[in-house]
Amino acid sequence: MPTTAQTDIVKSTIPVLRQHGETLTRHFYARLFAHHPEVRHYFNPAHQRSGGQQRALAGAILAYAQHIDDPAALADAIEVIAQKHASLTIQPEHYPIVGEHLLASIREVLGDAATDEVLDAWAAAYGELARVFIERERTIYAEQREHQGWAGFKPFTIVRRERESDNIVSLYLVPADGSEPPAHLPGQYVSIRVQDADGHTAMRNYSLSNAPGAAAYRISVKREAGDGEAPGGDVSNRIHDDLAQGDRIELSPPCGAFTLELPESADKPLVFIAGGIGATPLVSMAHAALHASPSQPVIFIQAVRHGGLRPFTRELETLASRHPNFSLHVCLSEPGEADGAGDSGIKRGELEPADLERWIGGWGATYYFCGPLPMMSRIDRMLETRGVAAGDRRYECFGPAQPLAA
């Protein structure tokens, strides 16, 4: 536990962290992987190449320094990270490794500014944060064993493949030991562990897109094809090109803090706004909400570039036909000639505030949204401007968590 003096020292480093945070975290990851290449498979290389992982860690370190004397302000962020760690089976012995290279990076990047007092203060602060994570993750593992029947990775069999759109395929998965998959909370994800094209172990998180309690888990994976500047996704391309019915992959138990909470009032609408592959946790939530209440207004809005990229079309349209309290709307930002022709439920254009006013009949709703970061930032600003409380604006970032205001 850092002393009061050490807490003050950590807070005094806030200006330098603002200025050099990403330089520090880039150095940290390079140093960590050079000394411990065995931990590389815990990290998505695409996020390393894009800089997203480094930016997220820099933001987390800065936030910790800013709130080191107010731990309650960090509770939500800690839970998100602890759930992600548990999905990847991070263990207590990993924390000293990270601490060693983080402190070494502080010394090497900050130079003379990294005095012994600064390093001692950050060592104490990191030790306390590691203790918090280790305790929370130990609890998560115990809960998984008690309620879900396993912790760590377990073999699952692919029993079905289904194309959802031009760039998304779903895999239906059941435990290889013949047991039934335990029901997940709507919005949770699993980690899968496979061999990539080079034979290396790779782990990735994918939201469960099926209704909770279904006979099989369903993950729906977008092909990350890459372009001239960004390489394609190693695992997503493996799933699309190589994995077939009957193959086995390993799954860790469902994790995640982005889960559905039904409003206390059955009259308060639930609004799900999905951008592309961001529909995956929201489809699961929509199933759960409709199962829980026949009267709760549920509004599902999909935003995609064109109809060929729209996932779960038939499934969502079936829900709309079966549930009077469910309404479905689609926005196509780059529609083809035939997209939406004569269909009043499809808008040819971006989602705008006037659309929400028309479809929701006001702003007194709880909003769940997921999709590309720029889209979520725009939605969040739109809702905030209209007076929607922060507690009614709930979102999830795929990949390293980043603040929408960044």
Positions marked active-site: 95, 137
Name residue 191's beta-bridge partners.
Answer: 205
Question: What is the C-alpha to C-alpha distance for residues 48 and 180, in angstroms, rounded to an integer?
Answer: 36
C-alpha gyration radius of the chain: 22
Task: Find, among 218, 106, 213, the residue nearest to 162 by Cα.
Answer: 218
Residue linked to tokens 């200006």:
15
Separation between Cα atoms, residue 273 and residue 284, nearest integer Å: 13
8-state DSSP, 255: B
Q: Would you give the distance in Å from CA 167 to the centre of its chain?
A: 19
Q: CB of 256 within 8 A of CB of 353?
A: no
Q: Rounded CA gap, 107 and 338, in Å?
A: 60
Residues, the chain: 406
Q: Strand, helix or coil at 48?
A: helix
